[in-house]
Amino acid sequence: MQFTTDIVIGLEVHAGLNTKTKLFCGCPNRKAEQPNTLICPVCLGHPGSKPVVNRKVIEYALRMGIATQSKLASELIFSRKSYFYPDLAKNYQITQYELPICSGGKLALKDGKEVGFIRIHLEEDPASLVHQGSMQESPFVLVDYNRSGSPLLEIVTKPCMASPEEARDFMKQLITTLGYLNIFDANDGIIKADANLSIRESGYTRVEIKNITGFKEIERALIYEVARQKQEINDGKNRVQETRGWDADKGITFSMRTKETEADYGYIIDPDLVPITITKEMIEEVRMRMPELAPQKIQRYAGLGVDRTDAEIVASELELAELFERALEEGIKPVFAARWIRRELLRVLNYNKKSITDAKVDERQLFTLFRLVSGKKITEKTGQRLIEKLMDASFDMQEYVEKEGLLAVSDSDQLEQWCREAIAESTKAVEDYKNGSEKSLNFIVGHVMQKSRGTAAPEEVKGMLRNLLRNTSAL
């Protein structure tokens, strides 16, 4: 392949689907407190047990295929990928090799660049291995088969991303899409990626980095690996094709092995699973029930007059988009709701390092707050303070505002009195303002705001101060 960029990145992403049961048996597909409790002969690979495909999983994969404009296979075929490892009771993993359920799809990055897919296929998750302490030091390994047989969607992109930032954005867009399709739990689901990286300086020798969790880690791992390879080349070392692991704690990649080839896995079609025809009717049924996705939401919000960036940020997380839409149902104006969700709600969430789901904000009180601010019953400044308070615990917004005397002061006699006092107490600032310093006016505004405990609207105060200062006799 002819590459044109300095860095070339392709990703293989595994996302755990949020079905109720596993891929080939009726065991629950969820986390459990006790190891080896969500298991049966099928997911333990006991002799004589036979797998049966979970229909929901096919539907989920088709949803993803339709959302990414992939070509959908007309038949569902599963293969056995043979290798020995303790996490694999059958000594083979059931996956799709010859014919993936989806091929040739694409997903757009934030800047509009499209990342093409080679394929999307289904496979079962192996068991989890539990080490005592670190993998290197543990004297034994424990195997928990609860995860064994859980459905995974593997998404393989073309090597077409040109920077670690693009890879990070791709992961973010992918998680958003999976969340919108309601096939992946964006808060609790497992998403892991293997990254293929080649850089120009090495003649595009391919290195694979295994098992990177989450979109922030992808960027970190790739930035590290690009720098490491450049350093090695500077030191005169020859680059070899290899597989490396990512140690998130240490922030480094380490060599695991030289790359095996696909032939080493001895794929065969699984004789226990009969091919299932994917009919036009099945696809049509899924298509009819497709939810609205982020790009369509952004268009729709922009059509309501919402600022484009506000719309993009609100639509970037399904929970935010749903919150926004519920606010509209409550009669809050779209432009205001989007602006406050993006600027104020996200500000306090980020400050508290919480997602909208963890924060468990009392929505009724939040919408009351939105109504009070947008109706100019309280000032934006008061609103900002109250949204911070709402993060800690729920309280009756309306009652609190009235009790604490936080309603915006529109009584102009009261405003004028505060302004006159502030002018009298700020001799230096008044003089500077009269000599042309705009900044000094803001100082006096601040003084009035203090007196009003934030209940005066700054714009109104500014206007009144200008009038009073213009008319010297008023002083």
CB of 276 to Zn ion, least distance (A): 20
Query: Strands 207-213 and 242-247, how do they pair?
Result: parallel
Asked if 294 contacts 177 with a C-beta cutoff of 8 angstroms, the reply is: yes
CB of 49 to Zn ion, least distance (A): 9
**CB < 8 Å & 24+ apart, contacts of 357-364:** 357/187, 357/319, 358/187, 359/391, 361/390, 361/391, 362/390, 362/394, 363/323, 363/326
Asked if 51 contacts 25 with a C-beta cutoff of 8 angstroms, the reply is: yes
CB of 51 to Zn ion, least distance (A): 9
Name 121's bridge partners: 154
Query: Strands 106-108 and 114-124, how do they pair?
Result: antiparallel
Interface residues toward Zn ion, by CB under 5 A = 25, 27, 40, 42-43
Give 30 or 333: the residue with its C-beta nearer to Zn ion.
30
Give 44 or 283: the residue with its C-beta nearer to Zn ion.
44
CB of 148 to Zn ion, least distance (A): 8
Give 51 or 105: the residue with its C-beta nearer to Zn ion.
51
CB of 302 to Zn ion, least distance (A): 47
**CB < 8 Å & 24+ apart, contacts of 349-353:** 349/391, 351/388, 352/391
CB of 145 to Zn ion, least distance (A): 8
Asked if 338 contacts 307 with a C-beta cutoff of 8 angstroms, the reply is: yes
**DSSP label at residue 203:** T
Work out the angle between the directed axes of helices 164-180 and 55-67 (0-180°, nearest 10).
130
CB of 395 to Zn ion, least distance (A): 47
CB of 317 to Zn ion, least distance (A): 33
Nearest CA to 204 among 380, 54, 9?
9
Give 38 or 191: the residue with its C-beta nearer to Zn ion.
38
CA atoms within 13 A on the CB side of 69: 6
Count other Cβ atoms within 10 Å, centred on residue 431.
Answer: 11
CB of 42 to Zn ion, least distance (A): 5
Asked if 193 contacts 230 with a C-beta cutoff of 8 angstroms, the reply is: no
Burial of residue 262, with CB atoms counted within 10 A of its CB: 0-12 exposed, 13-18 middle, 19 or more buried: exposed
Give 144 or 208: the residue with its C-beta nearer to Zn ion.
144
Work out the angle between the directed axes of helices 363-374 and 318-329 (0-180°, nearest 10).
60
Give 127 or 311: the residue with its C-beta nearer to Zn ion.
127
Give 42 or 72: the residue with its C-beta nearer to Zn ion.
42
Give 43 or 88: the residue with its C-beta nearer to Zn ion.
43
Name residues whose C-beta falls within 8 Å of residue 274's C-beta, 6 or more positions apart in sequence.
Answer: none
- For the chain, the straight-line distance linking the first and the last C-alpha, in angstroms and rounded, comes to 79
Give 10 or 51: the residue with its C-beta nearer to Zn ion.
51
Give 40 or 283: the residue with its C-beta nearer to Zn ion.
40
Query: Alpha-carbon distance 226 to 83, whole Å?
Result: 31
Give 24 or 433: the residue with its C-beta nearer to Zn ion.
24
CB of 87 to Zn ion, least distance (A): 15
Name residues whose C-beta falls within 8 Å of residue 204's C-beta, 6 or more positions apart in sequence.
Answer: 3, 8, 198
CB of 20 to Zn ion, least distance (A): 13
Query: Alpha-carbon distance 228 to 245, whole Å?
Result: 14
Give 25 or 62: the residue with its C-beta nearer to Zn ion.
25
Query: Strands 79-82 and 268-269, how do they pair?
Result: antiparallel
CB of 50 to Zn ion, least distance (A): 12
